[in-house]
Structure 1
Amino acid sequence: MESNKARRNTTPIKVWVFPEEKEMIISNAKKHGLSTSSFLRQLGLNIEVRGIVDQQRILELVKINADLGRLGGLLKLWLTNDEKIKCFNKNTIDELLTKISIIQN
């Protein structure tokens, strides 16, 4: 298989589908952030379909994990009674922890 050749200059494969099937294929390709051609090619070659959507979700999880780490550091700082955060009272911290819990769920 020549990967450096432009695919448009190669032979297409026609697949006969009903209109509902076509819409479903197009929708699934969009969900994965792929073109219909790329989506069907990956399925046909038995390649796991990994679109840009999966990568975006992973990046979002990495950012959330970093945010939680920073919040944990701030909570630890508060628990050590550091002078820098004396302006925050127990109610403020309790509200923050409640919001964090809601976001995690």
Structure 2
Amino acid sequence: MEHKKKTRKSTPPIKVYCLPEERELIEGNARAAGMSLSSFLMTVGQGYKITGIVDYEQVRELARINGDLGRLGGLLKLWLTDDVRTAHFSDATIRALLNRIEATQNEMGRVMKSIVQPRAES
């Protein structure tokens, strides 16, 4: 006798009765989390915290950092092309620029890590 492996689709569903506006709210929350309605309800029902797919405040911070990197990279490019405007740049200035680029990259890494590994709730 064959033993069939149980799957979610082979078991009876849980029905949830709700008003149309409640359903819209639940569907909106699922979309905001980047999840299907079924996955969202399963996750919430098992007591897991739902986090949005994107933290817009952190995305704005990444955009700011990216702008900083662009400006720093532009300065470095000018120096590398022997542009007249950078003729007065000393080695110390270039080292400071490279250190600033590295610090900005580290800051970007910190923000990205906080998106991937969100802060624990208080």
What is the TM-score when the length of structure 2 is the normalising length? 0.47
Over the residues paired in the alignment, what is the CA RMSD in angstroms?
3.9
Shift of 1:54: 2.5
Using the alignment, how far apart are the partners of 2:84 and 2:30 within structure 1? 49
Using the alignment, how far apart are the partners of 1:55 and 1:76 within structure 2? 31
Q: Percent identity?
A: 30
Correspondence 1:86 to 2:78:
no
Using the alignment, how far apart are the partners of 2:10 and 2:55 within structure 1? 30
Q: Please, which runs of 5 or more residues in structure 2 have no aligned partner? A: 87-122
Higher relative contact order (CA 8 A, sep 6+): 2
Q: 1:28 to 1:75 in 2, by over 3 A?
A: same
What is the TM-score when the length of structure 1 is the normalising length? 0.52
Equivalent position SS for 1:86? helix
Q: Please, which runs of 5 or more residues in structure 1 have no aligned partner? A: 88-105
Structure 1 outlier segments of 4+, above 6 Å:
55-60
* Number of equivalent positions: 81
